[in-house]
Amino acid sequence: MHQTRFLFTFFLLFLTSVATAQWLEISGTLVVDKSDKTGATGSRVVVLRNNEKVDEKTIERKGRFNLKFPFDADYKLLFMKSGYITKMVNVNTEVPEEIIEANPDFPPIKLTINLLPKVADVDLSVFEQAVAILAYNDELDDFIFDDDYASRVKTRITDAEQTIHKMMKQPDFKPLSAGQDTQSDPILLALEKEKQENVTALKELEVTQQKNAKLERKQLAESQNKQRYEQPENHSVDYVDTLSDEMKRRKVLAKYNELIALADTAFRTRSYLLSRDTYLEADALSTGSTYPQERISEINKLMDTQKWASIAEEYNAYIQQADGAKSHAIARFYYKKALEVKKDDTYAKEKLTEVEAFISERKGKAVDL
């Protein structure tokens, strides 16, 4: 039941991504030791979203896999096979909203995952953490691997793998069999520990929120009781229905004059939308005056002139942001915005063509992990 809930959650996420056609695709090949005649058979990739299992896929004998991930989440990909060292890749799919709007289809990320057999007497603790971290880079407008992180773990990973390779070349080499490999996967243990810590923290937060909510309800109740005792009862009588026709006419005229005064003030301050709406409200009172309609016609002419000035101002702002953008993705976003304002603008079209040509030159390269 618990597993079904996880799969259902991931299914909903997948449907969302299909509806918007916005996701990150990761494909590649899982490679195991050539001496293993079964190839990648029996291997799998487990997908965690925010440390919760949302999917698990069996990898075919040839090792090929293809995964799609909706944006705005943290994922952990665990590549596993019984008797082999598990490798974890962290993937962060958070992308700025304007970039998603400008470029929802990123080139696929290609991976080659090399799994080595578990052996005794070798420090494998480095594999308890991710072997690589993938995230969006706004300068390159693409998902790239974190070089700083890679440089910190590369030496330890290389040393461990070289040691295993040397041992595998020995005539008497024997990997740990399923019976000998009695320890739980260190990555899963570390993730479970982190999950339990998060659960504890959430429970503490929930208790605090409940206490605060209880205190707020108490304060609100006290405030309402205080207002109930302090507020005098309203015994005023509504005399509107008893007014004479003359009194009604005077009331309408007073309201009309009030609205005209407000509309005139808004007109003088060039708040044309507010002024026009207020003149319309005054005209609806049907006093017989043509003044509101005359003002409305004048405002419509002014707003038409103002509209073109506003378009030019908006266009120039987008062009300025595009020309000064530090990344091609941001530049493309604002050149497109400029063309939404002026569809046939030559400059924005030419610059957009240049930016898109640069971006299209990027090709997904396989990363060996």
Q: What is the pLDDT along the chain (369 residues), one digit of tens a residue?
A: 444 444 444 444 444 433 344 788 888 888 887 777 777 888 889 999 887 888 888 888 888 889 888 888 899 999 988 888 888 999 998 888 777 776 656 778 888 888 888 887 778 888 888 888 999 887 677 888 888 888 888 888 888 888 888 888 877 776 665 544 544 555 655 566 666 666 676 777 777 777 776 776 667 666 666 655 555 444 344 444 545 677 777 888 888 888 888 888 888 877 777 888 888 888 888 778 888 888 888 878 777 766 777 777 888 888 888 888 877 777 888 888 888 878 788 888 888 888 888 776 655 556 777
> What pTM was computed for the model?
0.53
User: Rg of the chain over CA atoms, in angstroms?
Assistant: 34
Q: What pLDDT does 13 receive?
A: 41
Question: Amino acid identity, residue 177?
Answer: S
The CA distance from 184 to 129, in Å, is 15
Whether 338 and 319 have beta carbons less than 8 Å apart is answered as yes
Beta bridge partners of 56: 46
Tokens 């291997």 correspond to 43
295 by Cβ neighbours in 10 Å (0-12 / 13-18 / 19+) ranks as buried
